[in-house]
Amino acid sequence: MIKTIALVVLVVLGALLIYAATRPDMLHVQRTQLINASPEKIGPLINDMHAFNTWNPYNRKDPQMKGSYHGPNAGPGAAFDFSGDKNVGAGRISIVEPRAPHTVSMKLDMTEPMAASNEIDFRLAPQGAATEVTWSMRGHTPYIGKLMGIFFNMDKMIGTDFENGLASLKALAEKP
């Protein structure tokens, strides 16, 4: 009886590990928000690390988070190193390529809870008097990430944070 149970557990575990290996190699999360403001007003709230962190949802997740700014305040080279609780982790986010006012590209290098490097893009598309802001993130998914993805919906987890951040950006940008 114990051998049968052990064999079933091994088969299920093996199937789970094989299934994880078939999961996508890339993570892609994207959310969009219509904001009643021009790209010229919204762009600086993204392209300046200090302004970015006034609405960044991850800064709000851990009020005790430690952080330090590096390089210029805005544009290429502007960076923020952070270390927070399990909800935030640790790493660095830096602006790599702004094409203001319509695109800001960033790089997110995580060191905790696991090492990962992701590309982040903010695209600002004018829609009459408003702007459609799209926040996207993409990066390679290591095997452990694929395994975690079986149990956790990464699109929903990260996407909810993006939705909260875009709502905060909207409130800030639409202030008179």
How is domain 26-173 classified at the architecture level of CATH? 2-Layer Sandwich (3.30)
Mean pLDDT of the chain: 87
Q: Domain ranges in the chain?
A: 26-173
pTM of the entire predicted model: 0.81
Contacts of 93 (CB under 8 A, 6+ apart): 49, 79, 80, 82, 106, 107, 108, 109, 120
Convert 54-86 to b/e letters by CB count within 10 Å (16 or more is b).
ebbbbbbebeebebeeeeeebbeebbbbbbbee
Among the listed residues 90, 101, 86, the one whose alpha carbon sits nearest the alpha carbon of residue 42: 101
Whether 12 has a pLDDT exceeding 80, the answer reads no
Instruction: Dump pLDDT digits (tens) for 125-150.
Output: 999 999 999 999 898 777 777 767 77
